[in-house]
Structure 1
Amino acid sequence: MSKHTVLFELGCEELPPKSLKKLRDALQAETVKGLKDAGLAFDSIEAYAAPRRLALKIVNVDGAQADTQKRFDGPAKQAAFDAEGNPTKALEGFMRGQGITVDQVSTFQAGKVEKVCYLKDVKGQSLDALLPQILQNALDNLPIAKRMRSAASRTEFVRPVKWVVLLKDNDVVDATIQDHKASNVTYGHRFHAPEAITLANADAYLDALRSAYVVASFEERQAIIDQQVKALADEVNAIAIVPADLRDEVTALVEWPVALRASFEERFLAVPQEALITTMQDNQKYFCLVNSDNKLQPYFITVSNIESKDPSQIIEGNEKVVRPRLSDAEFFFLHDQKQPLASRKEKLANMVFQAELGTLWNKSERIAKLAVALAPITGANAADAEKAALLAKCDLTSELVGEFPELQGIAGTYYARLEGENDEVAEALGEQYLPKFAGDVLPKTKTGTTIALADRLDTLTGIFGIGQAPTGSKDPFALRRSAIGILRLVTENELDVSIEDLIKLALAAYGDVLKDHDKTLNDAVAFLEGRYRAKYEDQGVAVDVIQAVQALSPKSPLDFDKRVNAVNHFRALPEAAALAAANKRVANILAKEAAPAGEVVEANLVEDAEKALFAELAKITPVVEPLFAAKDYTGALSALAALRAPVDAFFDGVMVMADDAELKANRLRLLAQLRALFTKVADISVLQH
């Protein structure tokens, strides 16, 4: 069968930059699906995307579908022919329906019945006939939130379509896609080479566009940008901040990338660098430069879409545009300093946190009370924790945060430093929001840890106290994320405190504001304990490991964490599977018949295997008891792994449910003793292998 190289290009008005990569990948995936569904084999598909085009190059695709045979089933052979072998009315009806004669009838075995059928040869369709619909279907299935119509066309797409190229080797495929007749004509850069370009063949695409100032490959453009940005940063001994999303967006904005370095006045560096970086990245799509200490430098890099004969004009233009934005940030920053942070509490008293839970100032006062109560647990200075809590929300009323909401906390840190607050208090104002998302960093200061914990506990307890717990997908106060944050703050800072005690402290800060403290306590504790699974699954811990620990309901997140880590380590040991199975067997036996009270009577041990298990338990118990006491669960379970051989031997050679009542009671006590050792860490019987 003949093989061909196909080029498809859809030329458009500028495509949405944030969606370009996703559109390219979806077009490739949908086309792959269409070709496979049509039975057309190919070697590979290369996908290209630039601001004004999406394109595919399909390498070594079949020139046509393979010829196939389709079977049409008829009646059973017994009902199709009479005793003389002539067609019955049933067969005649089948032949009429298929338009065939008796010599075209075949038979096949359908289970125990032999049936007649017609095997029709189906000629495979050509690639030329199939491609237009495959590509149109792929375009129709692209993930486009809002489609638009262009001019009189009824066909919709994300942007107006200007041209369509569809080549099979050297030939144009006769097709109409998105209401445009396919041709071999494409167009280069809008300014550098706007003339029509006739493609000689499908393989000529990339080179033809490159000579017309278009780098069609997304990855190649990105590599050029990376190289140019690094070179410009190196020239001033700086490091470029290149967020992945911004990098993709800039790549999607240019066909012919030319990076240029510009500068701004050093006086702006007195403004919080987060504000400057935010405005330059979000509004201007610039790459900011920092030094090795991560301090912003008075430069930025812009990526132009043209190769100017006078780059200085582009640089000056960008500097002119960015100056008012930086001036605004500077103005807000200086204006805010006219009012001390602490004096902003009046404005907080007019900002509602939640209708039933009061204002943001009410919340600040509760957090301050809770922070003082938490200080002995976190090791923070109570006075610092109280002061930081009362200042924590004050920057929400500032001009800077009003303009740059993402600077909440960060702005407060700057203002607190300028007002002479110590590092613990100042840093805590920014750290109160950490962690912001799964895997985010935690506060570095003890005061920051205290405020972050107090803030989340206050919100969670309050919302549960007024009966507005998260339901289904609704979680307006992000309590699920807050709960994970609380668990991380406790475990990763090794705070030895129970969830119940934390909620009780939060309830004490609320006082009479919340009516039913008991119900709130139970609901909030249950909710937090329910988040263990999400927390550890995110870390790649198997569900059965989490369930093995949950079976014991440890009260402290730190204790839970140590147990999970121990069971996770134990699960990887070669003895784990056999001991988990043995624990399951023991649990089942003891569930049916509980062990009588009392100690194992050594004189009643008659089988060698039970004597050996008893001796091993007597030897290992004094080894693991100190490990349990020290909460070294990993060490304890690792030591208990040595019981595998005597446990296996016990079940191989001992009948637990003996006829002799004394023997049976003694063996049940022995198994209870074994089970008790393991369940000091977790219910190992839950583990799946």
Structure 2
Amino acid sequence: MKKKTFLVEINTEDLPAKKLKKISLSFYTKFIEILKKENIIYSKIYWFATSRRIAIQIKNFKYYKKNEYIIQKGPPISIAFNKKGIIQKPALLWMKKFKINNSHIQILKKDKKKWLIYKQKKKYLDYSEKLSEITKKIFYTCSHLHLMKWNDKKYKFIRPIRNIIMLINKKIISKKIFGLIPNRKTQCHYLIKNKNQINVLHAKNYLSTLKNEGKIIADYEVRKSKIQKNILNLAKKNKSYIIINNFLLEEITALVEWPSALIISFKKKFLSLPKEIIIYILENNLKCFPLFKKKKELKSKFICIINTKTNKCNKIISSYQTLISSKLQDINFFFKKDIKNKLSDNKKLLKKVLFYENLGTLEDKTNRLEKIILLLRKKILFNSKNAQRAAFLSKCDIISYMVSEFPDLQGIIGSYYAKNNGEVKEVYHALKEYYLPKYKNDKLPTSNIGIALSITDKLDTLIGMFIIGKIPKGDKDPFALRRISIGIIKIIIFYNISFNLNKLIKKIILIYRIKKNIKKIISKIICFIINRFYFFYKKEKNIKNIVKSIINLNKINLFQVNKKILTMIKFLKSKDSKKILNLNKRITNILKNQDFKNSFIIKPELFQHELEKKLFKKIQHTNKKIKIFNQQTKYKKSIIEIINIHDILEKFFNTIQINHKIKKIQKNRLNILYMIHKTFQKIAIFSYLY
């Protein structure tokens, strides 16, 4: 059979650079899922993406059509034929409807009844129609993305679609998609003179055609690798050290189609400005990579990536130099203006800045932070005076000219100004890092006051928003409360910070002077934070039930919750888990209709068998051990204690009859089982894990 390659390319206006890889991979994984369902096998599948295209290429595919049948049920035998076996009108009408004759008819027997049936062979589309249908299904149902309309038609996509390629080898699949008839034309590099489009003559030659004729590297990962290699080589030639920002690298890979690298320099006098500000301007405004003498010492040079190969670079270099000089002059102006006043002088101006409606001003928030941070001093060791000073100064840089111009640098600016004002290292270092982590995989604060202030600020915002009912719904989270909660969890887990979250939240709510519905607010906040644990363990199949099994909403300790989750994940993957879960199920079923509302009492004098005495002693001993291990957060050892009960309990079930004819003895044995049930629950509610 001739080998076939399928290609689909969606040509669009400029796609969102920061999300290009994620978008492309989502289509790629959907193709894999649906191809499997539709019995289409292939040797390889690839995804390609640039700023103006998303493409999928499937090599050596085969479409297997199974012999599947659709059963068309007819009338019962009793009315299909008369007593002489002559076919009657109901059967004739049914046969006429499906255009069948006597040779096609079969009989179905079910529940002592018989019907006429006809097995109709399922019709399949040919492979070109099938692939067209799959493509439409995938690209039409991308509801997880932010979609837009670009004309008066019903179609929506991430960006306006301008052209579509759909090929099987050389053949065009001319079925409409997004209202457009596919062809073999694609956009080439916009700087190629007198040429806008090129023809892809064969699906398998897609990459080489784009590269040789269109001056475009369509393979995202190849393009990324080339950019990275160019950066490292250029840095090495200039005897410089470079720290490649991976987020920036991904963004630039999505922005350019034919990359090359240049070195740009700026005036050395600007190196007197805070290093983080220069790096921020280079990475976020100019999308460039700063160079260093050593890991910490910044150079007055940087690398920019341009979207073409050219020998005439002087104009580009000159433009970048003008741009960076202009930006750094503005910063220098703002910096000099800001440092004329002390950072602490801005505190009185915070009362004019609203934090949020019904949550007071930034001065009110700062006052709360000064109180809240002290609630953590027993769990995170720090100097209380310095911690309160850091909280006092934490929002003061918001008033500065620099933060007004560059809001993302809040905290970093405050740290520099605090250092310049002679504040102690503990204070200005905490200001620099208390906003961390800002995003996924971001670093965490490192100093004790920084850690405490980060938790304090995040909890204050989270609790405040819940008090006024600004709770995230669906995909909407305008105050980034999910990210804030994940940040809190990350810090607590990484630094093993152990405290009762319920009590802390209650104390913070009281600082807000709220007296009504406190329990309800606490419950909502706790559930919201606990739900963020799914983010950390999303690869675990049973994670929701694991979390449910170990949670006591009245007393949450995030450090302990995480440790229990890890223990339960390992336990459920072990050989012992099945026998413990089966044992728990057996006990639960026996106790199902029993009433233990009143305190249960086990009376040793009612024991009839030596095994009852042994089991009772074993459970008493296990309870004491588990209590100690749980206090020490040694949950693995608690699980081992439960596993050690199995053999004697199994023997108990096999030897002793629970339903004894004497009710007192029966009740006593049920009480033993209830005691075991309560022992199990000290570790987890195992019934969630069946």
Structure 1 length normalisation: TM-score?
Answer: 0.80
- Determine the structure 2 residue equivalent to 1:263: 265
The answer as to 2:551 corresponding to 1:550 is: yes
Q: Distance in 2 between matches of 1:79 and 1:128?
A: 45
Q: Distance in 2 between matches of 1:2 and 1:404?
A: 60
Which shifted more, 544-553 or 37-46? 37-46
Residues 264 and 319 of structure 1 are in contact (CA less than 8 Å); yes or no, is this contact kept in structure 2? yes
Residues 65 and 127 of structure 1 are in contact (CA less than 8 Å); yes or no, is this contact kept in structure 2? no
Q: Distance in 1 between matches of 2:433 and 2:26?
A: 40
Q: Distance in 1 between matches of 2:244 and 2:20?
A: 22
- Determine the structure 1 residue equivalent to 2:530: 533
Alignment match of 1:411 (pick from 405, 410, 413): 413
Is the alpha carbon distance of 1:199 and 1:82 closer, same or farther for their aligned partners in structure 2, counting shifts above 3 Å?
Answer: same
What is the letter of the counterpart of residue 405 of structure 1? P
Larger Rg: 1
Is the alpha carbon distance of 1:650 and 1:405 closer, same or farther for their aligned partners in structure 2, counting shifts above 3 Å?
Answer: same
- Determine the structure 2 residue equivalent to 1:454: 456
Residue deviations 1:589-631 (CA, integer Å, cap 9, x gap): 4953579776753x65441312332454566667666545655
Alignment match of 2:245 (pick from 242, 246, 256): 242
Q: Distance in 2 between matches of 1:319 and 1:76?
A: 88
- CA apart distance, 1:341: 0.8
Q: Distance in 2 between matches of 1:144 and 1:203?
A: 31
Q: Distance in 1 between matches of 2:226 and 2:311?
A: 20
Residues 501 and 555 of structure 2 are in contact (CA less than 8 Å); yes or no, is this contact kept in structure 1? no
Please tell me the root mean square deviation across aligned C-alpha atoms, in Å.
4.6
Residues 638 and 683 of structure 2 are in contact (CA less than 8 Å); yes or no, is this contact kept in structure 1? no
Q: Distance in 1 between matches of 2:602 and 2:77?
A: 79
Q: Distance in 2 between matches of 1:189 and 1:408?
A: 40
Is the alpha carbon distance of 1:27 and 1:121 closer, same or farther for their aligned partners in structure 2, counting shifts above 3 Å?
Answer: closer
- CA apart distance, 1:351: 0.9
Residue deviations 1:191-229 (CA, integer Å, cap 9, x gap): 346547566644444333322322232332222212212
Residue deviations 1:296-330 (CA, integer Å, cap 9, x gap): 44332222222112334433332222322233233
Q: Distance in 1 between matches of 2:175 and 2:440?
A: 49
Structure 2 length normalisation: TM-score?
Answer: 0.80
- Determine the structure 2 residue equivalent to 1:301: 303
Residue deviations 1:441-483 (CA, integer Å, cap 9, x gap): 543222223323333444455555x553637557665556555
The answer as to 2:190 corresponding to 1:190 is: yes
Q: Distance in 1 between matches of 2:377 and 2:601?
A: 45
Q: Distance in 1 between matches of 2:150 and 2:18?
A: 17
- CA apart distance, 1:563: 5.3
Counterparts of 1:173-184 in structure 2 under 5 Å?
none
The answer as to 2:471 corresponding to 1:470 is: yes
Residue 308 of structure 2: SS of its match in structure 1?
coil
Alignment match of 1:231 (pick from 230, 233, 243): 233
Residues 148 and 158 of structure 1 are in contact (CA less than 8 Å); yes or no, is this contact kept in structure 2? no
Residue deviations 1:629-685 (CA, integer Å, cap 9, x gap): 655444344345322222222222223453446645654565566556555x43555
What is the letter of the counterpart of residue 399 of structure 2? T
Which shifted more, 31-40 or 669-678? 31-40
- Determine the structure 1 residue equivalent to 2:422: 420
Is the alpha carbon distance of 1:543 and 1:82 closer, same or farther for their aligned partners in structure 2, counting shifts above 3 Å?
Answer: closer
Residues 227 and 259 of structure 2 are in contact (CA less than 8 Å); yes or no, is this contact kept in structure 1? yes
- CA apart distance, 1:556: 4.9
Which shifted more, 77-86 or 427-436? 77-86
- Determine the structure 1 residue equivalent to 2:281: 279
Q: Distance in 1 between matches of 2:473 and 2:137?
A: 35
Alignment match of 1:650 (pick from 649, 652, 658): 652
Q: Distance in 2 between matches of 1:361 and 1:448?
A: 20
Q: Distance in 1 between matches of 2:37 and 2:601?
A: 71
Counterparts of 1:430-579 in structure 2 under 5 Å?
430-436=432-438, 441-460=443-462, 462=464, 468=469, 470=471, 472-473=473-474, 482=484, 493-495=495-497, 497-503=499-505, 505-506=507-508, 509-510=511-512, 514=513, 516=515, 519=516, 521-531=518-528, 533-540=530-537, 542-551=543-552, 553-554=554-555, 556-557=557-558, 574-579=575-580
Residue 288 of structure 1: SS of its match in structure 2?
strand
Alignment match of 2:220 (pick from 213, 218, 221): 218
Q: Tell me the percent identity.
A: 26
- CA apart distance, 1:425: 0.8
Residue 354 of structure 1: SS of its match in structure 2?
coil
Is the alpha carbon distance of 1:67 and 1:173 closer, same or farther for their aligned partners in structure 2, counting shifts above 3 Å?
Answer: farther
Residue 657 of structure 2: SS of its match in structure 1?
coil
Residues 500 and 521 of structure 1 are in contact (CA less than 8 Å); yes or no, is this contact kept in structure 2? no
Q: Distance in 2 between matches of 1:493 and 1:312?
A: 51
Which shifted more, 67-76 or 555-564? 67-76
Residue 378 of structure 1: SS of its match in structure 2?
coil
Residue deviations 1:146-180 (CA, integer Å, cap 9, x gap): 34359xx9999777777666655456667777787
Residue deviations 1:560-584 (CA, integer Å, cap 9, x gap): 5565565556555654544455456
Q: Distance in 2 between matches of 1:669 and 1:35?
A: 56
Which shifted more, 350-359 or 667-676? 667-676
Residues 77 and 116 of structure 1 are in contact (CA less than 8 Å); yes or no, is this contact kept in structure 2? no
Is the alpha carbon distance of 1:225 and 1:633 closer, same or farther for their aligned partners in structure 2, counting shifts above 3 Å?
Answer: closer
Residues 355 and 362 of structure 2 are in contact (CA less than 8 Å); yes or no, is this contact kept in structure 1? yes
Residue 689 of structure 2: SS of its match in structure 1?
coil
Q: Distance in 2 between matches of 1:63 and 1:525?
A: 56
- CA apart distance, 1:46: 3.9
Q: Distance in 1 between matches of 2:102 and 2:665?
A: 81
For structure 2, list consecutive stretches of 5 or more residues without a partner in the other structure.
none
- CA apart distance, 1:400: 1.5
Is the alpha carbon distance of 1:668 and 1:161 closer, same or farther for their aligned partners in structure 2, counting shifts above 3 Å?
Answer: closer
Is the alpha carbon distance of 1:147 and 1:520 closer, same or farther for their aligned partners in structure 2, counting shifts above 3 Å?
Answer: closer
- Determine the structure 2 residue equivalent to 1:207: 208
Residue deviations 1:20-61 (CA, integer Å, cap 9, x gap): 546655666777799889987655544433445554544345
Is the alpha carbon distance of 1:36 and 1:167 closer, same or farther for their aligned partners in structure 2, counting shifts above 3 Å?
Answer: same
